[in-house]
């Protein structure tokens, strides 16, 4: 890493002496890089951006105008303690995205950090709160918001103006439909739509695009039916699914996710004429 005075930075930008940027990083007009910020090769930072350390970003990230990454948690208990934001490679942050660093804690080692993986797409004005963890290839559409300690699994999608309550998890390849909210965990491969926590169907488009084999997709659909469209309790439904499909990787993933939930999981309440799939 070179010293800040060798970067391709606009003359109106302000770059802290603590910052460490790769030689090919570009920084747009009126951007502020404040404190210990590390930017990897190929990062492109647009105009009017604020990056606040401690913040580490990998290679190939693109940050558009008016984003604020690494700012303090929106939490009344935060007292300027040193916490972090860690961002992987090839993420895109469109206009006005906000990502906050972690909250300090002495009870959970490894926390106090907001973590974003690789190849994620944050559309305009989406928000990621303190201590969130985002996997890879995740999409947050415009206006999507995730509360503190939220977890987003690989290739999940949050549509426009959606909300994830704090401490909630969204499973791999799950989808939250537009203007919808969850206050419980959303299992992998399912889709919430038409109201808070109301599961509508399997995310068939997503799982097919992900290349999941047809036999595993059929198992996902059968498991969905057993959990959501029978009179069985979730515990009994999981036992039945485990006996029938417990060796199928995607079903094992769902069972483990649901059993590990601390907030309960989103489910379907059947209505006459519904056809979930």
186 occurs within a structural domain: no
Q: Which two tokens mark 37?
A: 């910020």
211 occurs within a structural domain: no
What lies within 8 Å, CB to CB, of 17 at 6+ separation is: 4
Domain count, the chain: 1
Distance CA 173, CA 77 (A): 34
87 occurs within a structural domain: yes
Residue 41's closest CA among 20, 65, 10, 71?
A: 20
Q: What's the whole-number average pLDDT of the chain?
A: 93
148 is catalytic: yes
Q: Which two tokens mark 149?
A: 């300690």
Pick the catalytic residue from 96, 100, 131, 185. 131
Per-residue pLDDT of the chain (277 residues; tens, 9 = 90+): 444 544 599 999 999 999 999 999 999 999 999 999 999 999 999 999 999 999 999 999 999 999 999 999 999 999 999 999 999 999 999 999 999 999 997 666 556 999 999 999 999 999 999 999 999 999 999 999 999 999 999 999 999 999 999 999 999 999 999 999 999 999 999 999 988 999 999 999 999 999 999 999 999 999 999 999 999 999 999 999 999 999 999 999 999 999 999 999 999 864 434 444 4
**DSSP structural state of residue 89:** S
Distance CA 72, CA 187 (A): 30
Q: Phi-psi bin for 57: left (phi > 0), alpha (psi -120 to 50), beta? A: beta
Pick the catalytic residue from 100, 127, 130, 165. 130
38 occurs within a structural domain: yes
pLDDT at 270: 41
Question: Do the Cβ atoms of 148 and 132 come closer than 8 Å?
Answer: yes
Distance CA 103, CA 112 (A): 5
Q: Which two tokens mark 272?
A: 């006459």
134 occurs within a structural domain: yes
229 occurs within a structural domain: no
274 occurs within a structural domain: no
Residue 45's closest CA among 71, 72, 24?
A: 24
Pick the catalytic residue from 112, 148, 160, 177. 148
194 is catalytic: no
Q: What is the tens place of the pLDDT at every residue in 47-68?
A: 999 999 999 999 999 999 999 9
Show the domain range for 98. 4-152
In terms of Cβ atoms closer than 10 Å to its own Cβ (0-12, 13-18, 19+), residue 275 is: exposed
The domain spanning residue 96 has which CATH number? 2.160.10.10
Residue 170's closest CA among 198, 142, 195, 150?
A: 150
131 is catalytic: yes
Q: Which two tokens mark 195?
A: 């109201």
Q: Is 139 helix (H, G, I), strand (E, B) or coil?
A: strand
Cut 0.85: pTM above it = yes
110 occurs within a structural domain: yes
């Amino acid at each position: 890493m070179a010293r800040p005075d060798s970067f391709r930075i606009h003359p109106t930008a302000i770059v802290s002496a603590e910052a460490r940027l790769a030689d090919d990083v570009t920084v747009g007009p009126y951007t502020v890089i404040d404190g210990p910020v590390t930017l990897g090769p190929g990062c492109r930072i647009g105009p009017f951006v604020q990056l606040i350390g401690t913040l580490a970003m990998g290679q190939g990230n693109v940050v558009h105008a008016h984003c604020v990454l690494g700012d303090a948690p929106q939490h009344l208990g935060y007292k300027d303690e040193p916490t972090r934001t860690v961002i992987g490679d090839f993420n895109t942050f469109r206009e006005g995205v906000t990502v906050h660093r972690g909250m300090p804690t002495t009870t959970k080692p490894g926390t106090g950090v907001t973590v974003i993986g690789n190849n994620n797409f944050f559309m305009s004005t989406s928000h990621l709160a303190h201590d969130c963890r985002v996997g890879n290839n995740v999409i947050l559409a415009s206006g999507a918001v995730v509360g503190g300690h939220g977890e987003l699994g690989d290739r999940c999608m949050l549509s426009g103006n959606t909300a994830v309550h704090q401490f909630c998890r969204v499973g791999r390849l799950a989808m939250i439909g537009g203007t919808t909210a969850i206050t419980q965990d959303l299992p992998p491969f399912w889709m919430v739509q038409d109201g808070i926590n109301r599961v509508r169907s399997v995310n068939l488009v997503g799982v097919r695009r992900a290349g999941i084999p047809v036999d595993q997709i059929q198992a996902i659909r059968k498991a969905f039916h057993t959990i959501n469209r029978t009179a069985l309790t979730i515990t009994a439904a999981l036992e039945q699914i485990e006996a029938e499909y417990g060796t199928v990787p995607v079903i094992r993933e769902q069972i483990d996710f649901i059993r590990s939930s601390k907030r309960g999981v989103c489910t379907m309440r059947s209505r006459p004429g519904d056809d979930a799939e």
